Every structure is written in structure tokens, then in C-alpha cells.
Structure 1
């Protein structure tokens, strides 16, 4: 099945691309979520307008993302968690925790944009990438401290 993407889809394509996908993926995921539309002759005529609009929208989003990166570069997050032997955490610091802390500081960033490969389970300093746009990524310093160290 051929579809025209209305939004960027990871590992598939960008807005305005005509891609060939499995029938089930197109019918059950892309079309109901309004991420794509069927590639009919009439829709292919509309694609040129969509591409021009997508370029303008992408440029605007990239500018906003770059401005947000400048604000995020001045920020650092600190998490205090209980620790056990060998400074191993009870629990972990996840992308949802990082997104929640950013929201508390006034930045509305979706947890799916926090590119944390696996939750942080050690005490230390980490640089966590936050993908704000496909070409713009911020790196936020995250410090995880043990609760005993904070009490002393």
C-alpha cells in the first residue's frame, strides 16, 4: 500500500513523502492516527502544497527548537534517590522523571523526546539528549545523588 505521510514517522519518512508500507500497518496504524493518507491521484496532486507547507512549518519549528536549546543549555537537573551497595539506586531515573522535572521548571517537553536509552540506575553525572526537532538536539546535564549523601 502506498501512503503519503502527513507527519514525520520514525524509521519511515518525513512529512510529504510517498512511502510503500504493509497493508496492515497503513490501515491499522498510520491512517487511524492521521499520520498518513492514501496515495490516490487526487491526493498526489495535493502533495506539492503539503510539501511547501511542511517546509515552512519545519523551518518555524526548527527556529523554536533552537531557541529552546539556548534556554535548556543553562539548566541542570538533580535527582536524589535512595541508594544501596555500590551506589546502585533503589528504583531509577527515567525519561518520564526527567520530563516531569523539566515541566516543573517551566519547560513543556514530552517524555518521548527525552532520548534515554535505559533508565539511570547509578549515582553520578550524565548528559541526557533531548531531541526537540529532527535536526536539533539539546544535551541536559543530569546529576543523580544518593539520599545518604544529601542528608550529611
Structure 2
């Protein structure tokens, strides 16, 4: 189906372009959300008459997204979750959880604006991309930790999943002799 785009859509085209898309994509997404019109003569005339209004609205949305992006720039958000000794979460952190954290900090971001291909399943610092507008994209840091204290330590660069963080042991100081004693198994070096 041919449609006229009413706004820029990533990997599809710019505002005003006539593009060919699959029928289901047009019927179920583009047309109901007002992102496109069917490409026929009456809609082409309608688009041309409303073009200035659409461009002004798009510019306004973009400037709002730029403002939010400037406020979010360089921010890190802490999410506290239960996790095992190895740092594996007992649940996961999904886009919904990130949106809830952002809204508690005063940022209004939709779940569809969070680009998270797979849920976060381990503690640590994770970069998450937010698409605030078709032309505005920003990366935030999500700090997933077991407590606020651990989140602070992770921010400073301390690893919480290595042996020294879990057991209080310096991995580099360990030697094989520390784990294996040839006399402990009943054999002397002379018997071997």
C-alpha cells in the first residue's frame, strides 16, 4: 500500500514522502496513529494544504524532545533489584521498569521510546538508548544494583561480581599452591 508520511519515520522516510509499505503495517500502525495517509489524490491535496501546520507541529515536538534530551544528558538512574552472589538478577529490568524510574525522577517517556532489545538480567551499569523523537536520540546509564550503597560503589567503577568483591579476596594474589597441598591427599612428593 502506498502512503504519504505525516512525520519522519526511521528506516522508512521523511515527512511528505510517498512510500510503499505492507498493508498490515499501514492499517495497524501508520494510519491509526496518524503517522500517514493513504496515497490518493484527495489525501495528497489535503497534505499539501496542511503541510505548514504539520511541519510546525513536528518542529515543536522536536524542540520539546531536545529540551528533555538536554536534561537527561549525562544522567544515571539507579534501579534496585534482588540478585544472587554472581550478580544474576532474580527477575529482570524491562523497558517498563526504566519508564517507571524515569517518571519518578520527573521525566515523561513512553515505553515505546526505550530501546531495550532484551531485558537486563545482571547487576551493573547498562547503556540504554531513548528515542525521544524521530530525530532526537539520547543514551542514559541505568545502574542496576542490589542496594543504593552498591549502586554508589558501581558508579565509582568497583566491580561487584568478581571474587574480590564477593569474597573479599584479591584474585591476583591467589596461587595454585593455596588450593592444592600435595601432602594433604596422603602422598608425599617422594612417593609420586
Larger fraction in strand = 1
CA separation of 1:30 and 1:59: change in aligned 2, threshold 3 A: closer
Give 1:104 deviation, angstroms: 1.2
- The corresponding residue for 1:71 is 71
- In the superposition, the TM-score normalised over structure 2's length comes to 0.66
- Secondary structure, counterpart of 1:3 in structure 2: strand
Larger mean CA deviation between 81-90 and 9-18 belongs to 9-18
Q: Which has the larger radius of gyration?
A: 2
User: Shift of residue 14 of structure 1?
Assistant: 3.7
**Alpha-carbon offset, residue 51 of structure 1:** 3.3
| Structure 1: 5+ residue stretches without partners | none
- The match for 2:112 is 112
The equivalences for 1:3-152 within 5 A come to 3-27=3-27, 29-73=29-73, 75-146=75-146
CA drift at 1:138: 2.0
**TM-score normalized with structure 1 length:** 0.81
Residue by residue over 1:113-140, the C-alpha shift from the partner in whole angstroms, topping out at 9 and shown as x without a partner, is 0112211111111221111112212222
> What's the offset of the Cα at 1:99?
0.3
CA contact (8 A) 1:113 1:130 kept: yes
Q: C-alpha separation between the residues in 2 aligned to 1:53 and 1:37?
A: 15
In structure 2, the gaps of 5 or more residues are 151-192
What is the aligned-residue RMSD (CA, Å)?
2.5
Q: Residues 130 and 138 of structure 2 are in contact (CA less than 8 Å); yes or no, is this contact kept in structure 1?
A: yes
Change (3 A) 1:18 1:132: same
Which structure's relative contact order is higher, taking Cα pairs within 8 Å and 6+ residues apart?
1
